[in-house]
Structure 1
């Protein structure tokens, strides 16, 4: 059969013309909804998703090790929310357990209310270090710690009063750090909320014949397939007090009753993999089939996170360091624009650098932290993403976004523009891939490629004839890319800046 090459070329041209026109019109009309209305998501069940993340221990400064849980959980919550899920963000604080027996006993020995008011978390940290040191060679302190925790479990007034003071102080301090990161929670929960329910869980396990008592007097659940105790989980101490997993069982059951969630996602480091495997196993053994819709998203460790002063222990130190280094880089750059609040911009760009560095690879992998590399303006960094977005914002602010009046997509059929438009067409696929495995690397890689293509186009583009049809079409393209960059960065947990 004879095919007229000219006709075939015309068909391809018409198809591309219509497709690109549709993409740019969708971007103009849908903006932050672009990509999420794709038919790819028609089969995905939308419902209530509970995401538990961050979860630091109270009475301690926010350790940098909790950064990963915080930003990964925030990404998952943002992603699910962008696709139409009702997301409940839970910060399940480590606010119960024997360590508070030690802290309570330590505060009674070494604590000072005046120091607590001036620098609360630092003073509690100092007390905790001191009491741990003393307890190594003094069994009396160990006994006092066990006694204080027993009083807590029995709701003794004075012990509870001191514990509540520690908790309120800590949450207030944490909220300042979360504000800097742009992270919020719907619920500040904690192990303490479920210590009484934990005893009910123990009774349920007993009634179902799942609870066994060891020679040492501890309560355990046999998880072995052969029923030979080759694998078991301890849920009760010999003195009758609850453990972390007992309270986690109670928390999971309570959340199902409260929120009737469709899925629940826990974001913690990979060392807790066995804990969650046992948690889900016990829930299923108790008859809670919804445990099959619970998931643990594990992550690896960060190595080499240091400042000029040495090892970083607290997250505030990391954020301060990122801001200071970014501010210095901006002051030395010839392209930096004048800003009303340069420190605010430096903070946002510094945090975006931390997030992108963390999200580039598989979450389960450990990675080495490198200050100089993550703050580079070139390469696959958060700084580069912010630079591209700010550059586009500058052009749009100066010349408009081309959305008023008709535009001709045929004027965008040069190879570089086609590459960008084809890439924009993949945005829904990338979101779909991200929601399948909850890995942010897909979105990071997509945004990096989009930014590189955009910067290359701008490098070769001669900005002239600003009122020409070709330039109006270009502005429409710039506006579309800027929108997708901003949308993608927000899902990652990055606040886009318009100047830098």
Structure 2
């Protein structure tokens, strides 16, 4: 594995520069594989480690001087220089044996036991994601929050964190006053049983439209909300029924996406504690009254001549707002969990909300706010189904499965599976996830069904196809328990290129973890998939001798292990046949 080779390089460089090995290791990088171009395996940029060791000379000269003091050995077969760096090529037999042995030994943990990750703080991570408003449509924006949050939780778990996955439902506020008041007029119990989420949304749309035109309906909504606030049994019973139905329906969608939550909470849990927040703000002299009698917190900096920056935390009638309940929830989690980090995953339109939330927590003396982070994502356009119009997330999943089933039926090479619909679902979800994760999360993008479902190119379908192909090939492997093999059988250029790519896995994980951007991992897995397909075409198994076939199958198994594990971190369930 890359870690072993980094240590060997670091040990030799350390003796010359008198720099501790541990400080050198993060600066020794596996070289990215380039098509049709021979490259060394590792590089060390001299500017980052030589400090005052050399005279004031150019980076190029520093690299030449350092390289001149290093020597090849049983591990390092060649030392050279590049643009301001010293390069290292590893003994080919050792490279082959070491990488394949490490993957066989570590399995799904390969890449996660690296020294690069050893100093990253491990602890308790709370991830709040998905968080739909139960009176509104579970729309495509919640798909992004759900799969991004699931990816972050998977990644944190993979590197050794204990993770609590939280779904913070929007289940309180004026919208529920509208829904409660409107259900007696527009609601239907039979429709509510048949299709709960769709019917709740239908009612909400109708009552909201009427409230905009009719003050009496708006007053009815406010009255219903007041009943809820006061604990009226009939109002609470109806609200509880709506909430339970919503969670039940959401759970079905989450199961299809391979997501589960450790905790369902919501704004409603903090309606009383929000009043404690208002009292706390008062006691600290932070709560002010605006001209229209609402409660605000001044967030402008001393001496700031710009317009004052403030956050409204209380209505004129003294009731709480969304941000007040969020403050209460954050404080409650700080006290309950004592977390090491808390990550909120929402769209970028809430950037200002979280800036205010973190600022107010800081003013309240909650130092744990420094461990809080907001991961933002952009909007998606173009994810309409064939039916068109506004869509539920479930419609998108149905559409992906339906299109994929059709593609499988029209493809001659498709293999018979026990449950074609289940396979099509997993491939369709992989397509949605990869299309979403290919770019910067904060960027808006336009979804394209045809592009997402292509079997070639950088798509989720391609990743699933590659994994299924490797799985089919490995069915030929009868002696997979025997790790011993002859490295001479694996000297082909396509093998060396793939192993060099596998060396980079821990660096990709490190970068992905640092930025919480899945695009690095997606790009890496695509590269691995393309290298795997080249090797599949080049390295025959059936026509080879048992010794060669065994070595090649061990090589293909190593690819499958890393590919499958990377896909699972992204939230994709690998398929074995398609």
TM-score after normalising by structure 1: 0.96
Aligned partner of 1:363 among 433, 441, 461: 441
Is 2:492 the counterpart of 1:414? yes
SS at match of 1:267: strand
Q: Which residue of 2 aligns with 1:210?
A: 286
Cα deviations by residue, 1:109-167 (Å, 9 ceiling, x for unpaired): 33233332233222212211111121122101111111111221222222111100100
Aligned partner of 2:315 among 218, 237, 242: 237
SS at match of 1:435: helix
Q: CA deviation at 1:472?
A: 1.3
Alignment CA distance shift 1:405-1:294 (3 Å): closer
Q: Which residue of 2 aligns with 1:477?
A: 555
Is 2:331 the counterpart of 1:268? no
**Aligned partners of 1:466 and 1:472 also within 8 Å:** no
Q: Which residue of 2 aligns with 1:91?
A: 167
Tell me, which stretches of 5 or more residues in structure 2 are unaligned? 1-67, 79-88
Q: Which residue of 2 aligns with 1:308?
A: 386
Q: Which residue of 1 aligns with 2:274?
A: 198
Q: Which residue of 2 aligns with 1:221?
A: 297
SS at match of 2:240: helix
1:105-254 equivalences under 5 Å are 105-226=181-302, 230-254=308-332
Cα deviations by residue, 1:250-296 (Å, 9 ceiling, x for unpaired): 00011111111000000000010010011000000000111011000
Q: CA deviation at 1:343?
A: 0.6
Alpha-carbon distance in structure 1 between the residues aligned to 2:103 and 2:74: 29
Alpha-carbon distance in structure 1 between the residues aligned to 2:395 and 2:453: 16
Alpha-carbon distance in structure 1 between the residues aligned to 2:271 and 2:108: 42
Cα deviations by residue, 1:394-451 (Å, 9 ceiling, x for unpaired): 0111234744151122322221100100111111110000000000000000000000
Aligned partner of 2:423 among 330, 345, 350: 345
Alpha-carbon distance in structure 1 between the residues aligned to 2:235 and 2:171: 14
Q: Which residue of 1 aligns with 2:538?
A: 460
Q: Which residue of 1 aligns with 2:23?
A: none
Q: Which residue of 1 aligns with 2:55?
A: none
Is 2:150 the counterpart of 1:74? yes
Alpha-carbon distance in structure 2 between the residues aligned to 1:365 and 1:244: 26
SS at match of 1:79: helix
**Aligned partners of 1:305 and 1:311 also within 8 Å:** no
Alpha-carbon distance in structure 2 between the residues aligned to 1:142 and 1:285: 36
Q: CA deviation at 1:227?
A: 7.4
Q: CA deviation at 1:10?
A: 9.6
**Aligned partners of 1:400 and 1:475 also within 8 Å:** no
Alpha-carbon distance in structure 2 between the residues aligned to 1:122 and 1:415: 56
Q: Please, what is the CA RMSD of the aligned residues?
A: 2.0
Q: Which residue of 2 aligns with 1:279?
A: 357
**Aligned partners of 1:359 and 1:444 also within 8 Å:** yes
Alpha-carbon distance in structure 1 between the residues aligned to 2:373 and 2:168: 16
SS at match of 2:440: coil
Aligned partner of 1:298 among 376, 380, 384: 376
Alpha-carbon distance in structure 2 between the residues aligned to 1:179 and 1:382: 19
Alignment CA distance shift 1:447-1:312 (3 Å): farther
Alignment CA distance shift 1:470-1:263 (3 Å): same
SS at match of 2:499: helix
**Aligned partners of 1:401 and 1:479 also within 8 Å:** no
Alignment CA distance shift 1:10-1:464 (3 Å): farther
Q: Which residue of 2 aligns with 1:444?
A: 522
Q: Which residue of 1 aligns with 2:414?
A: 336
1:9-48 equivalences under 5 Å are 11=77, 15-48=91-124
Aligned partner of 1:326 among 404, 407, 415: 404
**Aligned partners of 2:166 and 2:262 also within 8 Å:** yes
**Aligned partners of 2:541 and 2:552 also within 8 Å:** no
Alpha-carbon distance in structure 2 between the residues aligned to 1:399 and 1:151: 68
Tell me, which stretches of 5 or more residues in structure 1 are unaligned? none
Alpha-carbon distance in structure 1 between the residues aligned to 2:483 and 2:230: 72
TM-score after normalising by structure 2: 0.83
- Segment of structure 1 superposing worse, 278-287 or 402-411: 402-411
Alpha-carbon distance in structure 2 between the residues aligned to 1:443 and 1:461: 26
Aligned partner of 1:394 among 456, 459, 472: 472
- Segment of structure 1 superposing worse, 54-63 or 34-43: 54-63
**Aligned partners of 2:148 and 2:345 also within 8 Å:** yes
**Aligned partners of 1:64 and 1:312 also within 8 Å:** no
Paired residues in the alignment total 497
Alignment CA distance shift 1:6-1:167 (3 Å): closer
- Segment of structure 1 superposing worse, 310-319 or 236-245: 310-319
